[in-house]
Amino acid sequence: MPVRARRFGAFVEPAGVMLVEYRKSRVGVRMVDVRAAARPLAGIREAADCLGELVHEMGAERALLSVALRGFGSAYLNITLPQSTEDVLRPIVRREVRRSSPDLDDPVFTFTDASALERRRLPRPDTGVASAHLLVSAVPSGLIAELRDRLF
């Protein structure tokens, strides 16, 4: 019988790593365990090694891992645009990432529409259409490859 993958969320920054193991439940998410390594991390290789050590300490043979980064060349944006489909928004977001972070080498980015979190949902003055409030994260593509290679 195959080993079931355990779920982890990690926050990784130059000051250390925080790792949370969690399980989905009928009423949401339940934290199972929390580990932290509060030490200076010089680069993404050292950070990936630290994260791998924490996952290993928790005895996970298989892991589903979500990582939030701060530092190490990452960039975050909040963009307000007219509502549209992802295929229309993606090139605009790409342009804004490149414009706001020109030093970001070959950026890999993702975004989510946080409009549902906006309680007011006010229409735009000229159009009567609510805006899309996008939360964007971007990292250099080499950083993703380095994390993947060091962890798996």
Element (H, E) at 5: none
pLDDT given at position 19: 97
* pLDDT value of residue 116: 74
- pLDDT for residue 122: 56
Query: Mean pLDDT across the stretch 47-65?
Result: 92
For the cut 80, the answer to whether the pLDDT of residue 128 exceeds it is no
**The predicted structure's pLDDT at residue 130:** 72
- pLDDT over 90 at 118, yes or no: no
Give the pairing type, strands 16-25 and 107-113. Answer: unpaired
What is the predicted pLDDT for the residue at 121? 53
Query: What are the pLDDT digits (tens) for 70-117?
Result: 999 999 999 999 989 999 999 999 999 999 999 988 899 999 998 877
Mean pLDDT of the chain: 89
Give the ranges where the chain is alpha helix by DSSP (H): 44-57, 86-100, 141-151
CA torsion sign for 51, 71, 105, 80 is positive
- What pLDDT does residue 3 have? 77
pLDDT, residue 36, reads: 96
Model confidence at 124: pLDDT above 60 = no
